[in-house]
Structures are given as C-alpha cells and as structure tokens.
Amino acid sequence: MAIRSFFAPFLFFALCSYSSLTPVLSLYEDQVGLMDWHQQYIGKVKQAVFSTQKTGRRRVIVSTEENVIASLDLRHGEIFWRHLLGSNDVIDGIDIGLGKYVITLSSGGSVLRSWNLPDGQMMWESSLQGPKHSKSLLLVPTNLKIEKDNVIVVFSNGRLHAVSCIDGEVLWNKDFEAESFEALQVIQPPGSDLIYVVGFAASSQFEMYQINARNGELLKHERATFSSGFLREVSLVSSETVVALDSTGSILLTISFQNGEISFQQTPISSLVEDPSGPAVIIPSSVPGIFAIKTNAFTIFIRVIGEGKLEVVEKTNHETTVSNVLPISEGQQAFALVQHAGSEIHLAVKIAHDWDGNLLKESIKMDQQRGLVHKVFINNYIRTDRSHGFRVLIVMEDHSLLLLQQGAIVWSREDGLASVIDVTASELPVERDGVSVAKVEHNLFEWLKGHMLKLKGTLMLASPEDVAAIQSMRLKSSEKSKMTRDHNGFRKLLVVLTRAGKLFALHTGDGRIVWSHFLQSLHKSGTCQSPIGLNLYQWQVPHHHAMDENPSVLVISRCGPSSDAPVVLSFVDTYTGKELNSLSLVHGVVQVIPLPYTDSTEQRLHLLIDSDKHAHLYPTTSEALRIFKREFSNIYWYSVEDHNGIIKGHALKCKCTDEAADEFCFDTRDLWSVVFPSESGKIIATVTRKLNEVVHTQAKVIADQDVMYKYISRNLLFVATVAPKGSGEIGSVTPEESWLVAYLIDTVTGRILHRVTHHGARGPVHAVFSENWIVYHYFNLRAHRYEMSVIEIYDQSRADNKDVWKLVLGKHNLSSPISLFSRPEVITKSQSYFFTHSVKAIAVTSTAKGITSKQLLVGTIGDQVLALDKRFLDPRRSVNPTQAEKEEGIIPLTDSLPIIPQSYVTHALRVEGLRGIITVPAKLESTTLVFAHGVDLFFTQLAPSRTYDSLTEDFSYALLLLTIVALVAAIFVTWRLSERKELQDKWR
Amino acid sequence: MEKGKGVMGSCRRWAVDFSDNSTAPSSRDIPDPPGFTRASVDQDDSAVSRQKKDAESNWKAQKAWEVAQSPFKNLLMMGFMMWMAGSTVHLFSIGITFSALWQPISALQGVGKVFEPYKDNKVDLLGPKLLFIALNLGGLALGVWKLNTLGLLPTHASDWVSSLPPAQEVEYSGGGVPL
C-alpha cells in the first residue's frame, strides 16, 4: 500500500480501498430492480397492421422509424415481442400473411422476411436482387394462390417478384428494364389473376403493365404521355383508377387504365375550389372513390364520380389525417379521419362511398403537449349486438402512440423516448416543510416492521412469504421515488430531449415521467417545416446564494439542418417543465460554447458562434457582459472542420463592427490552424474532457512513494485521423495502406503535445478523455482484432518538486495558476490491449469529488454496458510487476482486456439500439449514476470502489438496535452485580 | 498512597488516621486534645524510628530504581510484538503500533505519580526518574520507528502533494465540430 498518512480517518479509507482491490461488482439476483430501471420502447410507428383473429390474443404489428418490428398487446400496449433490425436494414413495409406470419420487406427491398406472429421467431428469409435501385413495394394479396401457395408480391430493385408465403421461395420474377421507369403502385384487383404495375417514366410518361399473376407473363404494356409532367405521388381511387397532379401542382389528372386502355381526365384545381392558394400536394391514400389534396391553407377531400368527374366533398383548414382502409363487410370499406380542433381531436369513421354518413363520430380530449396527429390506423371489432365497433391507433407528432376506443384513450406509449438526442441532469427541489406527524408515525411503524422482517431474513427465520414481502418492500421503497432532494444525491431529474423535439424529465428513482413539454419552437409550423432540436445545456444550476431560483436548461433548436437556418433558444424550468423564455435569434449558430463563468444568479455564460465567426454572448445582461469583459483576453475557441481536415483556433478581437450588431457581439480572429492533408489523414473522432469533471488531485503516487504530476488541462483535444482509404468499408483496405494517428492538441495555442501512429489500424474510433488520460478503441487489421489503447500525460516540469520541507512550508508553485503559453514539458505513457467486442459508445464514471477510482463504461455491440476498471488500462502495467508495484495495485500485463461476465452493469438486460452512456455524480463520493439510452432506456447506480462511505442498503438497523439495547442491559446488570460484590467484599 | 500506608502498617497492628493525608504538623487546623503533647510522643521512640526511617528510605530508593527500570521489560515485549506484527498495514499491526505509542506517552504523563510513593527527603529520585523517562522515550521512538516502517509517517513528497488540487489554468478554450 502506498498510502502514507498520519491520520486515523485515512486509515479506514486505506483499508477500504485495500479491500476494493478485488473488483467484483456483481449483483445478487434479488438486487435486480432495486437501484436500476429499464424501459422498453419502439420508436415512432411508420406502419401498423392489426391481427385480430377470432382466436388468440389481439395484437398489432408495427414497424417504426427506429427500425423495430414489434407485436403490441391491443389491450394494454405492452410489447409481446420486438426485433431491432440493423441501421442499414431499414424496413420498407410490413404486412400479415395467412393470418399467422408477419412479412417484412427491408434493406431497400432486397430482404424479405417472415416472422411467426405469436412468438416473433423468424420463419424464413429471402434475398431479392434486381437490376437497379428503385422504390420497394410490398403487397400481400388475401386470396391469390399459385398451386395452393399463397403469394406475396414484391416490387423492388426494378424487378417484380412473386414469393411463396410458406417458405419464401421466389416463384417467378419479372424485370422492368426500362431505364427511367419508376413504379408507384402495384395493384392486384381482388378476385382476378392480374397484377397491374403503374408508374412514371421520364417524368412525363405514364406506364401501365398488366401481368399474369400465375406465371409473371407480361400481358399488356401501355404508355401515355402527358406533356407537362407529373408530381411523384399518386392516390389510388379504385383498382383501375389513380389520381395524380401535374408538375405545377395545379391540375388534377384522373388516370384510368380499364381493360388496358389508358385515359386521362384533366381537372384544374381552381375549377373545384375558388381560392386554391398555392400549389397542392396529394396526400397518399387508397380510399376507394375519394382522395385528398393539401394546399398551404386547406385540406380538400374530392370524390370521383364516374368517368373522371370530380366533386369536392369537404374543404377544411384544420389539420386532418386519413387512415388506411379497412374492409368491414362485402363491398364496404371504412376509413377514419382525424381532425384537430383546439384541445380536442375529432375522430370520424366513414364508409368509403358514403361521405356524409358517419359510422362513428367522437371527440376526444387530447393533451396539447402531444402535437398533431401524424398517422392513423383503423381496426374494427364486432360488438355483442353484431354491430361494428372501431378502434383507432394514432401516432402523434411527439412520436407517442395511442389507442382510442369508445371515445377514450385506452392506452398510450411515450415512444418518443426511443430517440433521445441529448440528456442532462437536474437536481430536485429541497424538502422545505417537514412531513406531517401522522405520516412520520406511519412511517416509523412501517420502518420498524420492515426492519424486523429484514432481521428475520438475516437470521434465516423468514418464511417464503416473508421473503417475498421483503423483496416487494425493497422494490417499491417509497424513499427512492420521492420528489425531493435526498442526502446522498441519488434522486435527480434526467432532462431528456428527443428527436421529436419534446423534453421529458425522468425521475432517477423509478424512471417515471415527471413532466413533459413539447417546445413551441420545435412544433412544425408555417415558418419552419422541419425544426430539429440540437442540444441541451445546463443554463442555471442554483446552489449556495441563489437557492430560491429554479434550475433551468437551455434547448437549442434550428429550423432544418443548414447552419444558416434560424435558431431558437428556449429556456425551460426543470422543476415545472414550463418554458420560461424563448429567443428567436437573428444570427445562425454553428457552435455553442458554455463558459466556465456564472453570474450572480448562477446563470452560466454561453458563447454562440455564428457562421460568420462572430461570437455572441448570452445571457444578454450587463452583469454577464462585465464578467465576460474581465476574462475577455483569456477566452479562445476552436473549430474542427472534419470535411476538409482543418482544426482552427480563434481568439476574440473586439466588438462587432457591423452597425446592426449589439454590444454582445464580438469579432474573432484566426490564431492558428492544424491542417491534416487529405492524402494522409481524415479526421474521424475528436474528444475533449467534460467541462464539469472534477479532478481531486494533480499528483499520482506510484510505487516507492514516488510522485508523478498529471498534466491536467481542460483545453486538450484528442483527434484521431485515419488514412483516407481506411475510412471505407471493412475489408476494402490492406493493413499496409491503413494507419491511424492519434494527436493531442492544445486548443489554446494549437501546439501538438503528442502524436502516435498505429500502423495497420482503422476506425471507427471511439474515445473517452478524463483527467490526464485518453482511452480509444479501434480495429487492428493485422491482428484482425479490436484494440484499446490508453495514453496518460504527465507534466515533467513539476517532477522536481521533491523537497519535503518546501512542501510542508507551502513554498512551492504547484497550485499557482498556469498559462498555456508557457511551454509545457509533458511525457506520455501508453499501452495497447486487445478487446473482444466492437463498441457502440464509451463513457467514464464521474464522482462528486473525483477521489473514487474510475471505471470505463463500454457499450458493447450486444447492447450491453460493461464496466471495465481503469486499472486494466494502466500504461505502467508490466508482465512481472515488482512487489511495490503489486502493492500499488498494478495488474500483471496481459495481451487482452478481461471481460468479466459479472461486471456487466446492465446484468441480464439489453439496451436495444444503444447510442449513448451518460454518467452523473451523486452527492455521495463513492457513487455515480449511469444512464444508457438507445431504443431502450436503462439507469443504475454504480460504485466503482464499492460504497465505502455508506452502509449498504440491506444493512439491518434492527440488529444494530437490538445489539445496542442488549449491551446497555448487560452493562446495567453487570454494574449492579459488581456493586453487590464490592459491598460484600467490604463487609468481609 | 496505598503502598505508603502498607509500610506504616508493618509496625502497627492497625491504625486510625484521623488527620488528612498530609502529615506536616503545620497544616493541621484541629488543635491537639488537652493533655496531649506531640513532642513527648515523638521523642519517646525517636531512636527506634530513626533506624526504621533509614531502612525505609533505603527500601524506597531500591524500589524507585526497580520502578524506573520496569519499562525496559515492556520495551522488549513491545519489540517482540512489533516483530511479530510485520510491516503491512492491517488492524493488528496498527493496534500494536498505537499501543506502543500510547504506553510511553501515558507513562511519561504520570511520571510524578509513579514515583510519589517513594518521595522522601532522603531519597534522591532524580536518577530513577531520568532512567524511567529515557526508557519510555526509547519506547516512543520504537513506536514511531514502527509507524514509519508501516509507511504512516508523512516523510515523502507524495504525502504532501497527494491532495493538492490541480492548478487553475488562465486560458479557456471551447468549441468542437460545428453543430
């Protein structure tokens, strides 16, 4: 042990850290769910198919934008089974075949799979190749049979396939080789053996192919030219008629291809509606006889009444969504319409040929925070009186999924949480007034009862019922889900920004949603069609003197992906979820730099850089400006231009010279630039230290009481570049022409502090930077294995601070502020190890004071989170460590990093589609909170060196109490006895 | 004081001492009973008592030296225990080290008390006291040495810098890949 300290309290610490040298962090089975929670989501639903057979449970099969196929229970919305396909295997269409198979078409129409409906097992998979890339269409006809085989018709990659539903065998296929032919619809009129493929060629030609469904023989091929061209969207109004728009969006074309003859009917929109207000688009639907078009102001429903005559049936300026078509009885087809009206939505179910008669009309109160209805799927059931009842599945703008039935929301799923963009943590309110007395008494009784049960458990006296009671009591301990701050800092709010633009606050105790807020700036509106949420920053974290303020977060959203697009800053109170303020900026934003300064109300100063390299200071108060002016000459910024391989450093110059600019705008000047020539390197990863990371000490004590000084700087940037060839597909490059270079760059001066080249290595690189070390993960082509490397940086210029007396008297300059312009003398130590897994994300644990040893959290390809002790990645490891090094805790060197199954933080669970891992320090130094997000969410507490500063959760207070009582009684009894004996002795 | 009484008790079968423990006549505030003259009693057996007093002081001096040498045994035992405890930090070695430090310190605090029974005008207690103190200091040194071998003394640079926070940097730079 290298711990030399005179003071007794440290001895206990020494003992504890000594015991922690055996790093086993496994859980017992009954501890699962005590501190962790796991939530499963599916993402925004793209397509839903109901499976409501007479027998069996009612389910809905959905495919989502997160590439999930799932089977949901219609009664409660729970997931029966779920499959996450890879990100390069995007689902194009789903359907149900034969009532028991789920058919999915994915990967741009080249993979067709069949899954068993009840349990989600895959039945078969077939690969469908074709001559060229094209739109892919999936059609599962209900009663088309070829030799007793039910057939699936797939148009993909420019080829029409007929696939057997039973085993996935391709029965026939037919190529569409015409260069520019683009299929839009595959139609199979029920009861016939014909398949129609309709589409456009060369933007102004309409083509129709009539194909024999039995053998793929081409029966007819007709084409017709329309001079002014088409918009690429059609609406199917009958099995032999489609409606399209011309390229200007002002003329409706009814195209009928009855008996193989193509005929056009042109109807200008202006002849139907007086004021069309701009070009229209067709809302894709397949309701027989009716289609919908949308202009800027209106949604117009138009009926086709024989021979291409059109008639407007409804014109509305409410947001309207049309569902799929549901055949309810012979020749009758129903569909649902959902319209927004204030805080309610109106649901109407209509028969396709009878617009005015409603089968169902309901108004349902809808939470404003869910935004607009995006998609509607309809399903029916037979009531006991033989009439039809309808249930409707709706997908909202915030990606949530709701089932409506009988005018009420039966269940809802917050599937927006499947696509988390950014996470930040916030404190809960401080408990102000004490809890009421009655509650305390109740709690005291419960507390004692609980502890008596626990005592029984420890003394092995508990019956099986007691054990079950203990377990359930531990799981739903009310303590962990309270809405106030706790002493240990375990209870916090996780503020989460989703891709839909909704903010959620999740309680760390049980993962429930405390509040959710759909930001006004992220609603789709006339001025901004595709707003995107970018990032989340902690705006105000009150402590000390600003306790009365509520903490708030800053959400940066932008209208579209371009860097010049207008930006909106929204400030949201994290206690209530209310939007405090929102600023529409006049300038664009390419960088947001949180500065390490706060004003008197604990608002953090932020610097926003626009595309003209002007820096704008927020908040725009005079106090912030004063603080900023004071530090003006010490603030720098850098930009990484990864497309052309340049890293540039900038400094602030003066106030903006534009007349329009305000006093919070500053000009900047270029200071330095590091250019990576495109023939030698391409930037693939950059990592810096987290701004809020706390480092306890600058010294590292090594064996024999020697000391090394860590080079700890906030302004270090780790950059990884690979050879341009090495950034392609795996297998496209030989080890000789691939290399990976890791740089450490000082972002104030542009000085390259360290550079190391790994020959024969390639990306992807995942890296994490903490204190004075970087760990990065890459692929070694020579060894055909993944590798992890560690670089530790030490400050050599401080190494001669060895005189004890100088240190005792404080005559050293180790804690005086340093400038990066004084030349640092650094040495680095590095080492590489093989690692079995490929990695999705790497993070490191962070604790309140930075004393506790660190663990790396590796998100593995299997969607699990592995905790790996930093001691395994110590460049001072050697094959035969000396006795002193062993005592220091250095592990003998091995070529690969061990994967201990017990050290999976996620134990038996999987965080499907894992994207990021976030660690938040708790107030208790030993503990860190870990949040992993992907399609699923997972949260747990982690103590990398065990909980050396607190009693474990299953500590028996009752036993302690009993022991104390017994001891007091024993003392009293022995005291009386000894007194009596003494008296007797005196009388002798 | 118990021992002192024991010595007195050897020549008398039993005694009742009404006065407080201080025997100096000047400190008495109770007047002598009528008909009692202190001088005559003292003089009665003065020859015998002088002899006895000489023997007593000899005996006291001898005892004082014995007491002064007693820490030596302790020292040997402590050394043996320390050797047994080894040089790694664990509960046993820490306990032994701290008792080795505590014993001499408490003994040094009570030097006066230890030698009080042998206090006599004719006995020179300086020698025994010095020996006692020296031996205890030796014990203390042994304890400190043990503490050092356990690595619990802040004698290295690492002990003084291990909790130094990192130095503040003057400059700050932020940024990264454009949003």
Amino acid A585: pLDDT = 86
Residue B7 has pLDDT above 60, yes or no: no
Dihedral angle sign, alpha carbons of residues B138, B143, B144, B149: positive
Q: Per-residue pLDDT tens for B63-94?
A: 888 888 888 888 898 888 888 888 788 888 88
State which residue of chain B sits closest to A710, comparing Cα positions: B166
Mutate to test the interface with B, among A1, A4, A648, A818 (most CBs of B within 10 A): A4
C-beta separation of A723 from A738 below 8 A? yes
pLDDT tier, A250 (very low <50, low <70, confident <90, very high otherwise): confident
A896 touches chain B (CB under 8 A): no
Q: Name the phi and psi angles at A655, rounded to 5.
A: -65, 155
Q: Which residues of chain A are within 8 Å of residue B176 when distances are taken between CB atoms? A: 591, 638-640, 686, 688
Mutate to test the interface with A, among B93, B155, B173, B179 (most CBs of A within 10 A): B173
DSSP string, A950-969: S--TT--HHHHHHHHHHHHH
Amino acid A898: pLDDT = 92
Out of A11, A609, A631, name the one closest to residue B94 (CB): A11
Structure tokens at A173: 């296929």
Amino acid A858: pLDDT = 95
Q: Which residues of chain A are within 8 Å of residue B165 when distances are taken between CB atoms? A: 695-698, 815
Q: Looking at residues A344-358, what average pLDDT do you find?
A: 85
Q: Which of A466-475, A665-674, A676-685 has the lowest mean pLDDT?
A: A466-475
Q: Name the phi and psi angles at B5, rounded to 5.
A: -65, -40
Percentage, residues of chain A above pLDDT 70: 93
Structure tokens at A553: 């977060």
**A755 CB-near residues (< 8 Å, 6+ apart):** A741, A742, A743, A744
Amino acid A22: pLDDT = 44
A801 touches chain B (CB under 8 A): yes
A688 touches chain B (CB under 8 A): yes
A736 touches chain B (CB under 8 A): no
Decide if A818 and B155 are in contact by the 8 Å CB cutoff.
no
A815 touches chain B (CB under 8 A): yes
Decide if B151 and A705 are in contact by the 8 Å CB cutoff.
yes
> Which amino acid, residue B114?
V
Closest to B89 (Cα-Cα) out of B156, B145, B146 = B146
**A-B Cβ pairs (cutoff 8 Å, strict):** 169
Residue A198 has pLDDT above 70, yes or no: yes
Decide if B175 and A804 are in contact by the 8 Å CB cutoff.
no
Q: Name the phi and psi angles at B106, rounded to 5.
A: -70, -35
Q: Per-residue pLDDT tens for A166-175?
A: 888 888 888 8
Interatomic CA distance for residues A242 and A196, integer angstroms: 12
Q: Which residues of chain B are within 8 Å of residue A640 when distances are taken between CB atoms? A: 175-178
DSSP string, A337-382: EEEEETTEEEEEEEETTEEEEEEEEEEEE--GGG--EEEEEEEEEE
Residue A669 has pLDDT above 60, yes or no: yes
Residue A432 has pLDDT above 70, yes or no: no
Half-sphere exposure of residue A419: CA atoms within 13 angstroms, side-chain side: 22
Summary mean pLDDT of chain A: 85
Decide if B172 and A596 are in contact by the 8 Å CB cutoff.
yes
Q: Looking at residues A471-493, what average pLDDT do you find?
A: 79
Q: Which residues of chain B are within 8 Å of residue A699 when distances are taken between CB atoms? A: 158, 161-162, 164
Q: pTM of whole model > 0.95?
A: no
Interatomic CA distance for residues A175 and A132, integer angstroms: 10
State which residue of chain B sits closest to A748, comparing Cα positions: B173
Interatomic CA distance for residues A541 and A349, integer angstroms: 50
Closest to B64 (Cα-Cα) out of B4, B135, B128, B133 = B128
Q: How many CB atoms lie within 10 A of CB A442?
A: 12
Q: Per-residue pLDDT tens for A203-232?
A: 788 888 888 888 888 888 888 888 777 887
Out of A634, A705, A816, name the one closest to residue B158 (CB): A705
Decide if B161 and A556 are in contact by the 8 Å CB cutoff.
no
State which residue of chain A sits closest to B88, comparing Cα positions: A1
Q: Looking at residues A366-380, what average pLDDT do you find?
A: 88
Decide if B175 and A637 are in contact by the 8 Å CB cutoff.
yes
Q: Which residues of chain B are within 8 Å of residue A713 when distances are taken between CB atoms? A: 169
Q: Looking at residues A649-656, what average pLDDT do you find?
A: 88
Amino acid B53: pLDDT = 82
State which residue of chain A sits closest to B147, comparing Cα positions: A6
**B68 CB-near residues (< 8 Å, 6+ apart):** B127, B128, B129, B131, B132, B135
A369 vs A790 pLDDT, higher one: A790
Element (DSSP H or E) covering residue A980? helix A957-987
Percentage, residues of chain A above pLDDT 90: 35
Decide if B179 and A5 are in contact by the 8 Å CB cutoff.
no
Decide if A706 and B160 are in contact by the 8 Å CB cutoff.
no
Amino acid A792: pLDDT = 95
- Alpha helix stretches (DSSP H) within A206-285: 269-272
Q: Which residues of chain B are within 8 Å of residue A641 when distances are taken between CB atoms? A: 178
C-beta separation of A404 from A385 below 8 A? no
Element (DSSP H or E) covering residue B84? helix B46-85
Decide if B154 and A815 are in contact by the 8 Å CB cutoff.
no
- Cβ-based interface (< 8 Å): residues of B facing A: 88-91, 94, 151-179
Q: Name the phi and psi angles at A151, rounded to 5.
A: -115, 140
Q: Per-residue pLDDT tens for A848-876?
A: 999 999 999 999 999 999 999 999 999 99
A473 touches chain B (CB under 8 A): no
Decide if B173 and A715 are in contact by the 8 Å CB cutoff.
yes
Q: Which of A128-142, A674-688, B38-52 has the lowest mean pLDDT?
A: B38-52
C-beta separation of A253 from A304 below 8 A? no
Interatomic CA distance for residues A422 and A781, integer angstroms: 33
Min distance B153 CA to chain A CA atoms (Å): 6
pLDDT tier, A435 (very low <50, low <70, confident <90, very high otherwise): very low
